[in-house]
């Protein structure tokens, strides 16, 4: 494709006729043939107005869409968060600005709709920073040789776990997840259509492992697949969410009692109770890590006024935003201890300067302003301003996303 053709790119809301082309684009982009079930679920999650295509003449060359999601912020507030997904551009006109054109239109529309923040799960870490996104939750894969797992004498044995067929799990698991996600910063509401896909559990989602098994507690649940590596059976945990430590411990005791299984893998945030429950805290080895969720703040005052802060703060700071209109100086006033802050634009000299993406990263508590300053990404007029800013954005608990989309 020539540069002249690329300049003829149009971005518009998708129509019914675009869908076969959208599917073809995403099949090629992600290297998989998308099944009818997944297409139906996607169309329920993204109403037609939320789907944008890029065209050159009659040809659909790009797509992006968003699901209508909600995210929990530190302190327990719930904020609408369009979930950007299914982003792809045909391999033929790559790096001609088609993604940038689509995301510009999409984010202007999301901003105009009043959504304060947008989120996504990124296929590659190098794409979305330039659009003002920052990573907000991290997941660590822990691998445990179950045969050597011994619980400490001090670890409780609460019981209360039952084995559930998928029909039984369907009745109770979404409500438990919903209770959990309201307690956890960074957690995303899972719409009904998303659960439909989870419980349908198509062969194409299993990667050669078994269908999902469920264990359920009144305050938590775990789902997992079993993979048979030449008779060395591995439990691959898919979901593990617990509203109370008792439920978490009970579920781990049940998992570790699966005698014929050799290994258990689980993906959890940085802080995990698991090593503290075992005689040998080295047993759950961290064997991988990845950023699950990224966020883009669309409305700085709305988002910063929605969360609670760890300690007192009252200072002007500058947001640098090369993509949307959120750049400028704001004052944030907050009292540590649970009350939401108050944020508004001001005409003052800033004491701290931060990019929109880095602000999203520190907002949910996974990343610290102090670390970003050491990396040369956050500027502060003096150490004290940085320290006040850094401490106020800290969170007691590590954020967790809960949903990959």
Ligand X SMILES: CC(=O)SCCNC(=O)CCNC(=O)[C@H](O)C(C)(C)COP(=O)(O)OP(=O)(O)OC[C@H]1O[C@@H](n2cnc3c(N)ncnc32)[C@H](O)[C@@H]1OP(=O)(O)O
Find the binder of ligand X among 46, 89, 240, 277 (CB under 6 A): 89
> Is residue 116 helix, strand or coil?
coil
Q: Which stretch binds ligand X (CB under 6 A): 97-105, 192-200, 239-247, 281-289?
A: 97-105
Burial of 207 (C-beta count, 10 Å sphere; 0-12/13-18/19+): exposed
- Does 29 sit near ligand X (CB under 6 A)? yes
- Does 166 sit near ligand X (CB under 6 A)? no
Find the binder of ligand X among 87, 136, 243, 274 (CB under 6 A): 87
Task: Choose between 84 and 315: whose C-beta lies nearer to ligand X.
Answer: 84
- Does 100 sit near ligand X (CB under 6 A)? yes
Q: Which stretch binds ligand X (CB under 6 A): 119-127, 138-146, 209-217, 323-331?
A: 119-127
Q: How far is CA 79 from the centre of its chain?
A: 14
User: What gap in Å lies between CA 405 and CA 194, rounded to an integer?
Assistant: 9
> Is residue 150 helix, strand or coil?
coil
Give the helix ranges, DSSP H, for 297-399: 300-304, 356-363, 369-374, 383-393
Is 128 catalytic? The answer is yes
Which entry of 128, 177, 221, 241 is annotated as an active-site residue? Answer: 128
Q: Which helix (H) or strand (E) holds 16?
A: none
Strands across the sheet with 133-135, in order?
10-13, 51-56, 59-72, 78-89, 117-120, 294-297, 133-135
Instruction: Choose among 137, 158, 156: nearest CA to 398.
Output: 137
- Does 110 sit near ligand X (CB under 6 A)? no
- Does 94 sit near ligand X (CB under 6 A)? yes
Q: Are 283 and 367 in contact (CB under 8 A)?
A: no
Query: Annotated binding site for acetyl-CoA: which residue ranges?
Result: 87-89, 95-100, 123-124
What would the x/- binding string for ligand X be over residues 128 to 147, using CB under 6 A?
A: --x-----------------
Gap between the terminal Cα atoms of the chain: 31
- Does 127 sit near ligand X (CB under 6 A)? yes
Is 344 catalytic? The answer is no
The residue ranges that bind ligand X (CB under 6 A) are: 29, 84-89, 94-100, 120, 122-124, 126-127, 130
For the annotated catalytic residues, the residue numbers are: 128, 405
């Amino acid at each position: 494709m020539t540069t002249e053709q690329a300049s003829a790119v149009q971005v518009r809301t998708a129509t019914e006729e675009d869908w076969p082309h959208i599917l073809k684009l995403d099949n090629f982009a992600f290297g998989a043939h998308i099944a009818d079930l997944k297409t139906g679920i996607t169309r329920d999650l993204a109403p037609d107005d939320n789907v944008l295509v890029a065209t050159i003449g009659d040809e659909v060359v790009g797509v992006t869409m968003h699901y209508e999601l909600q995210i929990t912020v530190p302190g327990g507030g719930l904020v609408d968060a369009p979930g950007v997904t299914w982003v792809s551009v045909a391999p033929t006109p790559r790096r001609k600005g088609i993604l940038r054109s689509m995301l510009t239109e999409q984010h202007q529309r999301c901003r105009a709709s009043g959504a304060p923040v947008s989120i996504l799960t990124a296929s590659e870490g190098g794409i979305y920073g330039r659009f003002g996104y920052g990573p907000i939750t991290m997941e660590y894969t822990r691998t445990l040789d179950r045969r050597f797992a011994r619980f400490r004498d001090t670890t409780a044995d609460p019981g209360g776990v039952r084995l559930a067929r998928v029909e039984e799990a369907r009745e109770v698991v979404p409500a438990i997840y919903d209770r959990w996600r309201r307690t956890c910063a960074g957690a995303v509401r899972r719409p009904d259509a998303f659960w439909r896909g989870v419980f349908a559990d198509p062969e194409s989602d299993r990667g050669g492992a078994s269908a999902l098994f469920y264990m359920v507690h009144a305050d938590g649940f775990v789902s997992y697949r079993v993979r048979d590596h030449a008779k060395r059976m591995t439990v691959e945990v898919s979901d593990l969410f617990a509203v109370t430590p008792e439920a978490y411990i009970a579920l781990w005791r049940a998992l570790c009692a699966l005698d014929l299984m050799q290994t258990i893998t689980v993906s959890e945030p940085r802080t995990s109770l698991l090593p503290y429950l075992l005689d040998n805290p080295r047993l759950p080895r961290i064997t991988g890590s990845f950023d699950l969720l990224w966020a883009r703040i669309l409305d700085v005052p709305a988002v910063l006024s929605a969360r609670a802060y760890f300690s007192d703060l009252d200072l002007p700071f500058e947001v640098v935003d090369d993509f949307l209109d959120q750049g400028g100086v704001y004052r944030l006033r907050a009292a540590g201890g649970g009350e939401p802050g108050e944020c508004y634009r001001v005409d003052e000299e800033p004491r701290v300067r931060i990019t929109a993406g880095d602000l999203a990263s520190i907002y949910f508590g996974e990343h610290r302003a102090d670390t970003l300053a050491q990396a040369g990404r956050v500027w502060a007029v003096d150490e004290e301003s940085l320290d006040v800013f850094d401490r106020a954005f800290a969170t007691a608990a590590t954020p967790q996303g809960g949903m990959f989309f």
